[in-house]
Structure 1
């Protein structure tokens, strides 16, 4: 790619120059992709975005998998307009929070009670606190490389690398940022995803101190591959036998089915964290779970065992948007998403096979991820890219942008309900075009592998 290349247009370049005068690196989120300039967006409509330079893109990011109905979903816009005319937030509760909680409790297995917060990070944070209160223990276990938000304990080993992740049979607990208290990694047991023997050994040997295992049934940063049934069974057996809670982080993966990811893959959690799609495009998080565990939040008799509040928790805008969006996520909507996801994954897989390219595709339901490796990965270590692989993925993202599609780089891509077979076919065609145009680079990747 020529020096000075940018997928961004003139107005995005100008906006970024302004932003660099007020933000530390020109953005307010480390997750913003830039190459080297971010695309600044003017509006979204259905499954498409329009940037400030007037260019149209099919959106496979969907605000990090949040917008399952795409942008400016009519029923949500109408419901929010009505609610805004009545007020945006109150110190008192509203009936809309009861209705959204009723929907979640009736739909998601093992959710007896719910508490609303503002983000997925908050949901995971309070779920872990609840587990500590309930068990009287302090340690947690988590998967190496898995993302669970910006809470110190779940950030441990989130960005582990070959030079610090330790032996395969005994992963090290690595600090996520400079200055992380040394005590934090000491309180986290790190498991390799789908390592049955390792999970049994590490959980059993630390059982007396473990409050919970935080488990994503299909961790996006871990490869977007499903947990193997024997891995899931082992985790459940050891936790059940030792009074350790299982926290299923479904902030991203609740979109896997009408009842969520745990139901799809046979996990029986004690607590589930939710977010993203349940907010209809507005900030939200939720902790749900067994009635006895959730009782730690009970303030009916005075100060609860675990106080939890928040100025904007359960605000009527998020509750209204979330309730409307979830009501439209019926069985037919999930069948539509599954069908499109299968078309995209199968089409990409066929294109890879026909050219013998050193790539693979993973995912399920409305999610997919492309990897610069020939074999399906089992865990984060196998997903970790070589320099050549990282370069290839950057080129893939650029090629998609040049062809009018926003494809997340090295992360889960998501399909939304406004998409049709035409968009699914476009994704496959653009990917096939990339393979054809980058054969020399693919040969280099294969050689380096």
Structure 2
């Protein structure tokens, strides 16, 4: 491989106690409960405070430049400071940032999405992925008249009580393999929420069919991320998707495809990729071009629960900043640039990266495996790719290994998320792919007592 570019030649060090990051963290601890405003912020032991971003790279307050494989949790598919988005936002800022009135911009983005995604016949914009999931579940309840939901064990769907059930299950509480327990996510979670949530194991077709049949009389919907990120970024098995869909259709249970993260898996989204035909979608992240956004959409018949044209709808929904014009124009600019060619290129880069990482682990005879699709990937401290959350679950030793790997990557100029999906962005190319593989190879070399320098 060619020598790395200059930004990776210097071995990086942890910020000293007197660093700007350390100083900012001390200030933050005075006003925030733990010094941060998101539980997902990684600290080792101090958070890396961002100063600015450009393309695929992020500059922190110490002046260190990183290849960014987090991209604000996969949101920035065009990287930082994407020119078409910045230009659209600048134009809109001169006209206004938000109104109580609708704007043409929301129609334009809504039309783009509905024309692109099969089964997305109607859409409504909200502010976050959590809101999108929340209103999708409420819509399913309003349409069916049932209150309970089914979800996948370990899957993340935002901060709504019912979808948080069994999100952080562990071996000591996750229950039998054939009947996963409804484990509370936080202290004080209402018992009624646990009773109204049926937990399924991913890729367990027989178990899912049995549990859905047993609870059909009360289930409004089953919510599924076609490739659940925090549950392992695990590939769905066709038999599982087919069985889930068939039994749901038979029993009148709606299917919600949560593609807040996985929508970046293809020009038409993730559902079509895996032959899933949802009744409802929850969208977010990339459709906002780097600005806050969420969307709930789906079949016109189901989405009619929001229809207020004849009076109070079955499901009232509003939001002060929903469909705000800044997010609408930014999202449209970002999505227009994500044509089939752009997705094909990201797919090619992703395939090349995953193959390179797999080959590196194989050559080093290291117990690591790779999962993911399109522009998403995860490295697992497992010799075999996991099939579900339980197989992906880390032991204490594995968790320590992954923290060490994340730190190693950071010391070599790459931000690699510890326990979440890593992603590629359109500004990246072959040089970035080679660098990621090279750093992984160097990390694996440290397991043999070598220095692990990037060659």
Could you state the TM-score of these two structures normalised by the residue count of structure 1?
0.96
The aligned counterpart of 1:304 is 313
Rounded to whole Å, the distance in 1 between the matches of 2:447 and 2:40 is 27
SS in 2 for 1:213: strand
The aligned counterpart of 1:341 is 350
Rounded to whole Å, the distance in 2 between the matches of 1:11 and 1:439 is 35
Q: Post-superposition shift, 1:6?
A: 7.2
The aligned counterpart of 2:7 is none
- Say whether residues 1:7 and 2:1 are aligned partners: no
Deviations 1:190-232 (A, max 9, x none): 0000001100100011011100000110001121122111100
Rounded to whole Å, the distance in 1 between the matches of 2:341 and 2:14 is 36
- Say whether residues 1:78 and 2:64 are aligned partners: no
The aligned counterpart of 1:322 is 331
- 2:126, 2:319 within 8 Å by CA — same for their partners in 1? yes
- 1:423 aligned residue (405, 429, 432): 432
Ranges of 4+ aligned residues in structure 1 off by more than 6 Å: none
The aligned counterpart of 1:281 is 290
- 1:6, 1:36 within 8 Å by CA — same for their partners in 2? no
Deviations 1:22-72 (A, max 9, x none): 100000000000001000010000000000010100000000000000000
Q: Post-superposition shift, 1:440?
A: 5.7
- 1:176 aligned residue (175, 180, 185): 185
- 1:251 aligned residue (260, 263, 274): 260
The aligned counterpart of 2:158 is 149
- Say whether residues 1:137 and 2:135 are aligned partners: no
Rounded to whole Å, the distance in 2 between the matches of 1:206 and 1:297 is 26
- 1:153, 1:184 within 8 Å by CA — same for their partners in 2? yes
SS in 1 for 2:256: strand
Task: List alignment gaps of at least 5 residues for structure 2.
Answer: 1-11, 451-455
> Within 5 A, what are the aligned runs for 1:8-407?
8=15, 10-407=19-416
Q: Post-superposition shift, 1:439?
A: 3.1
SS in 2 for 1:265: coil
Report the number of matched residues.
Answer: 437
- 1:6, 1:37 within 8 Å by CA — same for their partners in 2? no
- 2:377, 2:421 within 8 Å by CA — same for their partners in 1? yes
Rounded to whole Å, the distance in 2 between the matches of 1:36 and 1:303 is 51
- 1:370, 1:410 within 8 Å by CA — same for their partners in 2? no
Q: Post-superposition shift, 1:7?
A: 3.3
- Say whether residues 1:432 and 2:412 are aligned partners: no
- 1:7, 1:39 within 8 Å by CA — same for their partners in 2? no
SS in 2 for 1:21: helix
Q: Post-superposition shift, 1:336?
A: 1.1
Q: Post-superposition shift, 1:8?
A: 3.9
- 2:235, 2:371 within 8 Å by CA — same for their partners in 1? no
- 2:13, 2:411 within 8 Å by CA — same for their partners in 1? no
1:254–1:303 CA distance, 2 compared to 1 (3 A): same
Aligned-CA RMSD value: 1.1
SS in 1 for 2:139: helix
The aligned counterpart of 1:409 is 418
Rounded to whole Å, the distance in 2 between the matches of 1:258 and 1:436 is 38
Rounded to whole Å, the distance in 2 between the matches of 1:109 and 1:282 is 25
- 1:254, 1:260 within 8 Å by CA — same for their partners in 2? yes
Task: List alignment gaps of at least 5 residues for structure 1.
Answer: 442-449
Could you state the TM-score of these two structures normalised by the residue count of structure 2?
0.95
Q: Post-superposition shift, 1:302?
A: 1.0
